[in-house]
């Protein structure tokens, strides 16, 4: 019996050895590193891949938006029927401490090519500074010219912008309500081109596309324009064409008053009152139209702290809206694809805290995986990298090619800046997202406007500048952390990761240092394009 057992063991010895060498020998199996991870390694690698996997899901969603944008290219609003009668429109101009731009805004609205007797203008002023006198004088001047224009000033900011709009609506007489923020200059034919679409009684809101007066001011404004173009071309375009919910952007749009009232009116329990009302109205069955061919020029923030404040407000507001709206939407009878898209839309900013987690885990993950095989880096890391990172570049390239078919290739130069700035915003936006998740309420932080329309204008001597606070020092610290990561990668000949790590270095150091030093750099005109460097506008017709 014993001999038989030894014979059997001897017979199995060679196959077992071959199986062991084939599956557990590092020289023959590139996945052997996965079997050699200890408890500490697993504690690093499991969260690392989980975070990267979630970011990859949101990245894949960008690819789907591009796919829907082209698949449903024929699902766009046709030309509206001619109107027999122009309805009455109330134009609301909510402002708060906008001394540099309020007169420009009122002048633009007064030039509307719309029957004056059917147009009512409300200047909704919550200002606490000299803007009051400027706005009041502007209103009185146009009242003397026969315009139906009214100045409504509140002594408190209850509800912030939403409160001002709700207060104005109580005094409004228009069947439709057009809204413009202080930094916009709507074209004279705006109402003539948008109001006819309301001939369909189911249409509750139409949204125009933003364009930018000062896109060519600096690299920062160029990056902002590319980011916003991606939102207005592909996000709005894909969602509206697919038949899913999309949002009013708070300005450059027109509402049917009945849609606002039936949805419950303006509410101020979120910082994105526009998105909140949009979802509530669409849940009540109102139809929204996106009209990208109608452009409305606006002014981009030229100061990075103002830009960061704006982005943080949007990030926090969307998470707040998601907490408020998604349970109601998921219980509704809306189609599954509407619910899925809404989940992606309203939770997308959760990627910012995940980006911070990924940032802190990159160096430990590199150290743990130093002895890992190249094959698993190719099989595991590359697909996740393509999904989470390359989707961003392709997303914005498609948007720019759609808008500027003749000059879109220049976007390749700006893509590293776009990705780096997106990374640099992660710290500030993560705090905003966590505040929203924890239910912490904060005031509506306005975005200062300085009337910067060309590279010859300056802002550093003007009021309303945002304070940097402590956050830039944390961003600089993260940037230095990634400098150490780059040094480690070079020392260990892990050159493939260096370009990716440099995006983190550039993003965090740029946002941190610019937050502290930009006023001094502005005085020297550092980073501001010379007038001769301003590129001519693209001449290609957008192919929406």
Beta partners for residue 123, in sequence order: 93, 151
Single out the residue of 181, 162, 168, 253 nearest to residue 444, CA to CA: 162
Helix spans in 219-303 (H): 219-230, 236-242, 257-262, 273-283
Catalytic residue (choose from 41, 125, 126, 276): 126
Single out the residue of 146, 75, 87 nearest to residue 115, CA to CA: 87
Instruction: Please say if 126 is a catalytic residue.
Output: yes
| Tokens of residue 535, six digits | 């590129």
| Tokens of residue 327, six digits | 């349970």
Q: Specify whether the CB–CB gap between 262 and 284 falls below 8 A.
A: yes
| Tokens of residue 223, six digits | 């990056």
CA distances from 102 to 123, 134, 291, 298, 320 (A): 9, 8, 26, 13, 30
Helix spans in 265-410 (H): 273-283, 304-331, 336-347, 351-368, 374-376, 382-385, 391-403
Beta partners for residue 120, in sequence order: 90
User: What are φ and ψ of residue 399, in 5° steps?
Assistant: -60, -45
On the 0-12 / 13-18 / 19+ scale of CB atoms within 10 A, 133 is: exposed
Q: What is the torsional sign of CA 219, 221, 226, 227? A: positive
| Tokens of residue 75, six digits | 């699902």
Distance in angstroms (rounded) separating the CA atoms of residues 348 and 482: 25
DSSP 462-512: SS-PPP-TTHHHHHHHHHHHHHHHHHHHHHTT-GGGHHHHHHHHHHHHHHH
Task: Tell the residue number behind the tokens 């885990």, with chain if given.
Answer: 361
User: What are φ and ψ of residue 248, in 5° steps?
Assistant: -65, 140
Single out the residue of 246, 226, 225, 228 nearest to residue 236, CA to CA: 246
Instruction: Please say if 274 is a catalytic residue.
Output: yes
| Tokens of residue 343, six digits | 């989940």
Q: Specify whether the CB–CB gap between 303 and 459 falls below 8 A.
A: yes
Q: Interior CA angle at 479 toward 475 and 484, to 5°?
A: 145
Catalytic residue (choose from 125, 181, 229, 274): 274
| Tokens of residue 357, six digits | 């987690």
- For 179, residues 6+ apart whose C-beta sits below 8 A from its C-beta are 91, 92, 93, 94, 165, 250, 251, 252, 253, 254, 255
Active site residues: 126, 274
């Amino acid at each position: 019996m014993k001999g038989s057992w030894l014979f059997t063991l001897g017979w199995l010895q060679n196959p077992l050895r071959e199986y062991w060498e084939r599956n557990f020998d590092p020289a023959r199996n590139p996945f052997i590193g996965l079997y050699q991870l200890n408890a500490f390694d697993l504690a690093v690698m499991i969260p690392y891949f989980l975070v990267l996997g979630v970011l990859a899901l949101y990245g894949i969603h960008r690819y789907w938006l591009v796919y829907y944008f082209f698949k449903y290219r024929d699902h766009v609003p046709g030309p509206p029927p001619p109107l027999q009668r122009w309805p009455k429109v109330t134009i609301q101009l909510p402002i708060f401490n906008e001394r540099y731009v309020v007169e420009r805004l009122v002048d633009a609205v007064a030039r509307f090519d719309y029957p004056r007797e059917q147009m009512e203008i409300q200047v909704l002023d919550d200002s606490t500074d000299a803007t009051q006198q400027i706005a009041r004088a502007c209103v009185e001047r146009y009242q003397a010219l026969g315009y139906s224009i009214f100045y409504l000033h509140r002594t408190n900011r209850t509800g912030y912008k939403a409160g001002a709009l709700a207060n104005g609506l109580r005094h409004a007489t228009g069947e439709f309500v057009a809204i413009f923020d202080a930094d916009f200059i709507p074209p004279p034919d705006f109402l003539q081109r948008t109001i006819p679409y309301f001939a369909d009684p189911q249409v509750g809101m139409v949204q125009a596309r933003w364009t930018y007066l000062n896109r060519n001011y600096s690299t920062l404004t160029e990056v902002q324009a590319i980011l916003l173009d991606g939102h207005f071309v592909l996000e709005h375009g894909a969602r509206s064409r697919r038949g899913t919910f999309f949002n009013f952007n708070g300005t450059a749009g027109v509402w049917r008053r009945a849609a606002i009232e039936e949805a419950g009116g303006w509410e101020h329990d979120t910082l994105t009152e526009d998105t909140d009302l949009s979802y509530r109205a669409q849940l009540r069955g109102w139809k929204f139209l996106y009209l990208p061919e109608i452009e409305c020029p606006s002014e981009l923030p030229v100061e990075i702290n103002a830009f960061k404040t704006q982005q943080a407000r949007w990030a926090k507001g969307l998470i707040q809206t998601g907490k408020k709206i998604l349970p109601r939407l998921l219980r509704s009878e809306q189609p599954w694809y509407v619910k899925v898209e809404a989940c992606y839309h309203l939770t997308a900013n959760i990627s910012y805290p995940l980006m911070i987690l990924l940032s802190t885990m990159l160096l430990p993950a590199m150290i743990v995986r130093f002895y890992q095989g190249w094959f698993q880096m190719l099989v595991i890391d590359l697909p996740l990298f393509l999904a989470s990172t390359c989707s961003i570049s392709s997303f914005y390239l498609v948007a720019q090619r759609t808008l500027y078919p003749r000059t879109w290739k220049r976007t390749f130069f700006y893509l590293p800046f776009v990705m780096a700035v997106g990374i640099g915003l992660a710290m500030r936006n993560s705090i905003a997202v966590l505040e929203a998740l924890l239910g912490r309420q904060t005031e509506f932080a306005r975005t200062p406007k300085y009337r910067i329309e060309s590279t010859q204008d300056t802002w550093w001597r003007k009021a309303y500048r945002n304070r940097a606070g402590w956050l830039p020092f944390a961003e600089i610290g993260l940037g230095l952390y990634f400098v150490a990561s780059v040094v480690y990668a070079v020392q260990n000949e892990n050159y493939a990761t260096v370009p990716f790590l440099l995006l983190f270095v550039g993003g965090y150091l740029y946002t941190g240092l610019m937050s502290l030093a930009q006023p001094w750099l502005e005085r020297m005109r550092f980073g501001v394009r010379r007038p001769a460097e301003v590129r001519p506008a693209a001449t290609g017709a957008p192919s929406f």
